Chains A and B, each alone.
Chain A
Amino acid sequence: MFLSVGVRFEANVEALNMVETAGNYSKHRRVPYLVEEDGRLKTVYVPALSGESLAHAYQEHLVREALGLGLPVCDDCRRDEFYKSMNKVHLKKKVNPIPDDPRDIEIAIVRSCVVEDVGGFLYAEKPPVRRSSAFQVSYALPVKSVALFATSEPQLHARHAQMDSSSKKGNASEQMIYYVETGTALYGFTFNLDLDAIGVSAITSEPILDEDEIKTRREAALRALFRMLSSAQFGAKLSRFFPVGGITEVAVAVTEHPFVVTSPIYDDYIARTERRLKVLEGLGENYLFAVATGEKVPEEALKEAMDYLREQGAF
C-alpha cells in the first residue's frame, strides 16, 4: 500500500528553516521564484522549508512513536542524531564484528532500528549498503497563486546583560541587538509513504522481520505522520517563533502501488488528484481519497486513511 498526502498550511511570522547567520543576522531559507513580466523572466526569492527539515521532524516523531509501541530504535536515532549507520563507527554499535555480506549488514541494521528501516540509510564502507527511504517529502513552498505575497522580513530583537562593577564598562546595562528573518506564506508540501517497503530487504526483497512486527512498524510510521501534522511540530525555532496559522487543507490518497497526489502548491490539486485516481480505478486498482477542506479537519482525513489501511490489513 502507498500513501500520499498533500498538505497546505498557513504560517505567519515563522522561522521554521533558518540556513545561515551573518554576524547577528539569521537568514530564512529562500528559493528563487520565476515570474514573467513584460515577456521576460525575472527572479524573486520566496521563503521555503527544505524537505530535509521536514524529513528530520518526521523521523523525530517516528522515534517517539516507535518507542511507544515497544519497537527498537538505535542509540543515535534515540538522540535524534540520524547518522544512519553511515560508517563502521556507527554500525559497530549495532553489529560487531561487522559482517562481510551486504545482506547481513542490512538485516542487522533493519532489525535494530525502525528509523533506519523506514527512513533508509547508506553504509558508505566496503561493501556499500544502501536502503532508500520508504518515505519521500518535497520542499514546502509558497502556494503558486499567492506566492508573490509571501515575505521574509528581519525582525529586530535585543538581548540584555547586566554588567557588574568588575567589567570594563562599569555598572551599565548592556544590550545586544540581533535580527531573525521571519517568513510569512501559505505553504504546500507533499509527503509519500511506501508501506510495502517497511521491514523488507532492499537487496533480496525478502521480509527481514515477522509479519506482526512489520505491521507494528507500519503503524508507527503512520502515527508519526499523524502526530507531526496534528501537532504542527516541524521546523525550527518553535519555542519563540511558533507560526501563527495552522494546517488549512489536507488531501490523502491511499493506493495499492505508488501514486502521488498533485502538489498542493497548485490551486487545482484536489480536483486533478481525483481525476487521476479515476484513471487508476479504470486500471483495476482500489483506492481511498480523503480530503479535509472547509468543515472537515485534517485529523479526520488522516484518521479515515488510517482506518482504510487497517481494513486493508496493512497494520
Chain B
Amino acid sequence: MDLGTFLQFLAAGLTVGSTYGLAALGFTIIFNTTGIINFAQGEFVMLGGLLAVVFMHWLAPGLPAAVVLAVLATTLVGLVMERLTIRPVQHTSVINLIIVTIGVSITIRGLMMLLWGKDTYVLPAFSGTTPIPLLGATIAPQSLWILGITLLVLAAMRYFFSRTIFGRAMLACSFEPKAARLMGISVERMVMASFMLSAFVGAVGGVILTPLTMTSYDVGVLLGLKGFAACILGGLGNPFGAAAGGLLLGVLEAFGAGLISSAYKDAIAFVVILAILLWRPSGLFGAPDTERV
C-alpha cells in the first residue's frame, strides 16, 4: 500500500470518526452527571443537520446563520427534553430513565418525519468542494472543517470540565450527588445543563457532517449506535477517551473497508471492539478500577 492510499483511508476514517466521537462525547456528558445512557443522542445529531436544512429552506438566512440557529434550537430541545421527560421521573431507577430516552428518540424521529418528510437532504459545503491534494491523497475541504471543529469542541470541553467551577460542579454531581448537594450544588440544574451540553455537541456534529454525508430523519439511529460503540471502546466515563474511541472506530472501519472487504466493514470494527473489551473491560481509556453500571 502506497502512502497516498494509506493517507486516503486515514482521512476517510478520521472524518467519519469525528462525528462518532462527537456523538460519544454527548453520551459521556449525560452519563457523567446522571448515570443515564441517553439513547436520543443520535437524534441530537440528526436534529443539528436537519434543522439547518429546515432553517435554510424556511428562513433562507444563509448557511452560517442556519447552522448557528440549528445548533441553538437543538440545545433548546435538550433542555425541553430534560424538563418534560427526565425531571418529572427523576427519582425512578436509571434503567427507567434510559427507557424514557428511547421513547424520546422515537418521538423526535417521528415528529421530524411528519414535519419535514422522509427525504434525504444536503447542506452546501462550508468552503467549496474542490479537493485538496496531499501527498497522493485528496481531502475534501469539509473534512478539514469537521476535524478542526471536533478538536475545538474537545478542547473547549476539556477546559470546561477541568478549569471552570461549573464544569467541576457537574463532575462532582456524577461522583456523589448527595455530597454535591450538601456542598450547595444544584444537582437539578447540573442535569439540565448536561442535557443541553450534549444536545449542543451532537448538533455541532450534525451540522458539520451534513454537507459531506447528507441527512434524513432517521440517520440518528446509526450515528447513535456508532457513538455508543465509540463510548464503550474509549471508556464510558471518560469524555476524551470516548472521542478518541470515535476516531479509532472510524479509522478501523475505513481500513477494514479498504484493505480487507467492504462487505465486513461494520463487522471488523465490532470484532475489534469486542477483542479490546475482553482485554480491557473498562475501555481503552477508562480507569480500570472504576465501578461500572
- A and B co-occur in one complex: no
Binding site for B on A (CB under 8 A): none
Binding site for A on B (CB under 8 A): none
